[in-house]
Amino acid sequence: MIEPQKKDVAPPDLKRFRGYFITGLLVLGPVMVTFWIIINLFIVMDSLLGRPIQYLLGEIIGIPFFEQQIIYGIGFITLILLIIATGWFSRQYLGDRLVKLVNKWFEHIPLVNKVYSAVLQISQALLGGQREVFKYAVIIEYPKEHVYSIGFVTQDTRGAPQDAVAEDVISIFVPTTPNPTSGYLLFVPKKDVAFLNMSVEEALKLIISAGALVGRGGGGSRDAARRLGIRMHPLHDDDVRPPFRREDEM
């Protein structure tokens, strides 16, 4: 009779130290990667603008201080000032026309237009004007029963879409992952919309990361949700409100 071979079992001390190593790696790994990215980004940005600026100030203009030594960080500071100046210039009439011309030019370049358009729209969604278009983060039952999607309230539906249905509906944009610039416009009954205790920015991070980055709570407006007739998430619905009535019925 052949006895079954015994599997090698690691000693308890070795297993414990291996667990410590993995835990330490999980703790230090993100910190080290974050610092590595920041430091390398600083070095790259500083080298791109630092040397030309120092050459301009030292060799061409002739400032002795910049001729004798290397000043680290001057390129990064120049980049910050350049971004601020670009923002100011783009809000002027001539700058606005120039920005529109550049955008139109990029839109006609094959392949580049896809990348540029996606980056532009994501940047606007996170930093710019789409925060005003996306008013609140909500969750709805879509695309089928017991399956839920995050969406953004764009407006309290009026006009032809509202007149075509009997229920009181609200306009919700449901973005795709990981590119939130495309998606679906849905007109959902207000009673079927749950207002999330989450800001638009945090909800966008959750969508772009495909659910990997769970946003922080807070940042939503309960009073605004009540005015629109949006019910709160059950976990946060700690008060009792009267049923929603449309403004023309008040």
What digits encode the pLDDT tens for the residues 4-26? Answer: 555 555 567 787 888 888 888 88
Residues 6+ apart with CB under 8 A from 245: none
At residue 238, the pLDDT reads 47
Residues facing residue 218 across a β-bridge: 198
CB 56 within 8 A of CB 71: no
* pLDDT, mean over the chain: 76
- Position 212: which residue type? A
d(CA 242, CA 66): 70
Confidence grade of residue 141 (pLDDT, cut at 50, 70, 90) = very high
How far apart (Å, rounded) are the C-alpha atoms in residues 113 and 108?
Answer: 7
High-pLDDT (> 90) share of the chain, %: 6
Q: Enter the pTM of the model.
A: 0.47
Per-residue pLDDT, 44: 82
Instruction: Report whether pLDDT(52) > 90.
Output: no
